[in-house]
Amino acid sequence: MRIVTLDQKSRENILSELLKRDPNNYDSYSRSVQEIVGRVKEEKDKALFAYTRQFDGADIDASNIRVTEEEIREAKAAVEPGLLEVMEKAMENIRSYHQMQVRHSWFDSKPDGTILGQKVTALESVGVYVPGGKAAYPSSVLMNIIPAEVAGVKRIVMVTPPGKDGKVNPVTLTAARLAGATEVYKAGGAQAVAALAFGTESIPRVNKIVGPGNIFVALAKKAVYGHVSIDSIAGPSEILVLADETANPRFVAADLLSQAEHDELASAILVTTSRELARQVSEAVDRFVRELSRKEILEKSLENFGYILLAGSMEEAIDTANAIASEHLEIVTRNPFEVMTKIHNAGAIFMGEYSSEPLGDYFAGPNHVLPTNGTAKFFSPLGVDDFVKKSSIIYYSKEALEPIHKDIIAFAQAEGLTAHANSIRVRFEGLTEGQKGESGI
């Protein structure tokens, strides 16, 4: 891996390079995505089935697009028992963590006759996109469905591309059933996102769409936003390790490569105050790359977006980590908890040499759907809050409104909104001072 000494110019150059991975920059795909989304919106099932034949090579129609109970039973029987047990353990951790995020409605009443509050209501329906084909991503299934189920969403719809045989990967399907999906449909790509957003004869529309996917899925979610809500426009995966001379170089190298193997646009960065650690990590990375199965992807990823950054002080290293705002941030320093208090921008923070990133991907419990491409500066991990909406509650008695009604009228008039002012004024017209104080409840 390349070793770069940090200064203002090198930091700005690296930030600029990382931002090039933003899916919003891939305009060349937008026209194709817009065409797919528009056609599904207009032609519904007809377009959905045609695109499934074109892109997935599967003969899907209204009779077989929805996964049946029999298919789910067959899928579960095909999953290796050991893997099933691991998924159940992970699911327990994920559910337990997200149950701590649950918010409740609240009301605050005052003696003057006012009641203010917030009503928390689960979304009625959510669509979860899961990549499919030959690959299986049961961890993504659990991470996207369980928070919705914990939030109280009644209808959780999963869509995933079928294989050419018209079947869904059995591990993916089993994870969906374990997590709480109420419906599963054999559809993928931009066409599946459009079907969830607008509805077809076979797939009723949903209120929100979440889940990972390729550039076509990401741009389709962007295209339908406003018709439905979405989680985010996710970019390529990324990790930043913040380390000092106490870190184990083999551990750090292995953790950097755990994200670099995702794809050629993945980013893996070490920021350290130790030149010796930088050298040892670079050598360990080279050794691991020669041994690991996804060698070509690893080499491309590291060539494009892999860096070892040498900082002059831990303060400079922390400032750089906050500027990059990585999806995954590992802190491997003498006192990681102290460093953590100075981190403002990160999707998930892993502390200590035994809290490696895959622990969060699969098992610990916190969600692995995280903000990418610097959006950790203003976005949060996927969680229960993403599957609820909040309504404000306002109640004023006549006695509570009367002392302030002229203030509201004055405010409305200052904005030139005379109908607003009149809405308040009519409630107190023609009343004597004594009548103004009478109860209106």
d(CA 94, CA 90): 6
Are 187 and 159 contacting, i.e. CB atoms less than 8 angstroms apart?
Answer: yes
**Of 149, 327, 353, 357, which one is the catalytic site residue?**
327
Q: Rounded to an integer, what distance in angstroms lies between the CA atom of residue 426 and that of residue 147?
A: 47
Nearest to 278 by CA among 310, 321, 248, 313: 310
Catalytic residue status for 262? no
**Rounded distance between C-alpha atoms, residue 9 and residue 221, angstroms:** 35
Q: Which residues pair with 210 in a beta bridge?
A: 128
327 is catalytic: yes
Q: For residues 115 and 441, is the Cβ–Cβ distance under 8 A?
A: no
Provide the phi-psi class of 182: left if phi over 0, else alpha when psi is between -120 and 50, else beta.
alpha
Report whether 259 contacts 238 (CB < 8 A): yes
Q: Are 62 and 196 within 8 A, CB to CB?
A: no
| Of 98, 262, 328, 405, catalytic | 328
Angle of the 189-198 helix axis to the 45-56 helix axis, nearest 10: 160
Catalytic residues: 327-328
